[in-house]
Amino acid sequence: MAKELVFGHQSPDTDAIVAAKAFSYLQNQLGFDTEAVALGEPNEETQFVLNYFDEPAPRVIEKAGSEVNAVMLVDHNEHQQSVADIDDVAVTHVVDHHRIANFETASPLYYRAEPVGCTSTILTKLFDENKIEIPTQLAGLMLSAIISDTLLLKSPTTTDDDKAAVIALAEIADIDYQSYGLEELKAGTNLSAKTEAELVQQDAKSFEMGGKTVRIDQINTVDLDEVFARQAKLEAAMAAEAQANGYDLFLVLVTNILDSNSRLLVWGEPTAAVEKAFNTTLTNHTADLPGVVSRKKQVVPPLQDAF
Amino acid sequence: MAKELVFGHQSPDTDAIVAAKAFSYLQNQLGFDTEAVALGEPNEETQFVLNYFDEPAPRVIEKAGSEVNAVMLVDHNEHQQSVADIDDVAVTHVVDHHRIANFETASPLYYRAEPVGCTSTILTKLFDENKIEIPTQLAGLMLSAIISDTLLLKSPTTTDDDKAAVIALAEIADIDYQSYGLEELKAGTNLSAKTEAELVQQDAKSFEMGGKTVRIDQINTVDLDEVFARQAKLEAAMAAEAQANGYDLFLVLVTNILDSNSRLLVWGEPTAAVEKAFNTTLTNHTADLPGVVSRKKQVVPPLQDAF
Q: CB-based contact (8 Å) between A21 and chain B?
A: no
The 10s digit of each residue's pLDDT in B163-188 is 999 999 999 999 999 999 999 998 98
All structural domains of chain A: 4-186 (3.90.1640.10), 196-306 (3.10.310.20)
Q: How far off is chain A from B4, nearest CA to CA, in Å?
A: 17
DSSP A122-189: HHHHHHHHTT-PPPHHHHHHHHHHHHHHHTTTTSTT--HHHHHHHHHHHHHHT--HHHHHHHHHHHTT
Alpha-carbon separation of residue B218 from A52, A155, B125, B170, B256 (angstroms): 57, 49, 28, 27, 11
Task: Please report the pLDDT score of residue B244 as a whole number.
Answer: 95
User: What pLDDT, on the 0 to 100 scale, is given for residue A193?
Assistant: 83
Binned at pLDDT 50, 70 and 90, residue B285 comes out as very high
Distance, CA of A292 to CA of B8 (rounded, Å):
37
Instruction: Choose, out of A32, A88, A98, A109, the residue to mutate when testing the contact with B (most B CBs < 10 Å).
Output: A109
B115 near A CB under 8 A: yes
Structure confidence at residue B257 (pLDDT): 87
Give B272-282 pLDDT, tens digit per residue.
Answer: 999 999 999 99
Q: Which residues of chain A have a pLDDT value below 50?
A: none
pLDDT of residue B296: 87
Q: Which residues contact A198 (CB under 8 A, 6 or more apart)?
A: none
Is 80 exceeded by the pLDDT of residue B52?
Answer: yes
C-alpha dist (Å) from residue A291 to A262, A263, B64, B128: 7, 10, 34, 39
Please state, in angstroms and rounded to a whole number, the distance separating the CA atoms of residues B218 and B199: 9
pLDDT of residue A177: 97
Cβ of residue B101 closer than 8 Å to a chain A Cβ: yes
Mean pLDDT, rounded, for B285-297: 93
Estimate to the nearest angstrom the gap between the alpha carbon of A137 and the chain centroid.
21
* Mean pLDDT computed over B22-48: 97
- DSSP for residue B133: P
* Neighboring chain B residues of A301 at a CB cutoff of 8 Å: 106-107
pLDDT of B99-136, one tens digit each? Answer: 999 999 989 999 999 999 999 999 999 999 999 999 99
Contact A103, A78 (CB under 8 A): yes
**Which residue out of B100, B158, B160 would a mutagenesis test of the A interface target, given it has the greatest number of A Cβ atoms within 10 Å?**
B100
Q: Which of A108, A112, A114 sits opposite B99 (nearest CB)?
A: A108
In this prediction the ipTM stands at 0.86
Least Cα separation, residue A279 to chain B (angstroms): 19
pLDDT at residue B191, rounded to an integer: 87
Q: Is pLDDT of B258 > 90?
A: no
pLDDT digits (tens, 9 = 90+) for B150-161: 999 998 899 999
Residues of chain A contacting B296 with CB distance shorter than 8 Å: 108
Compute the nearest-CA separation of B121 from chain A (Å): 13
pLDDT in tens, B10-31: 999 999 999 999 999 999 999 9
The 10s digit of each residue's pLDDT in B185-244 is 989 888 888 999 999 998 999 999 989 999 999 999 988 999 999 999 999 999 999 999
Contacting residues of A for B106, CB less than 8 Å apart: 99, 300-301, 304-305
Predicted local confidence at residue B217, as pLDDT = 96
Higher pLDDT, B257 or B46: B46
Distances from the Cα of A171 to the Cα of A25, A131, A132, A166, angstroms: 20, 17, 16, 8
pLDDT of A191: 87
What local confidence, expressed as pLDDT, does residue B189 receive? 86
Dist. CA A154–CA A117, nearest whole Å? 10
DSSP 3-state of A87: helix
Query: Please, are residues B165 and B145 in contact by the beta-carbon 8 Å criterion?
Result: no
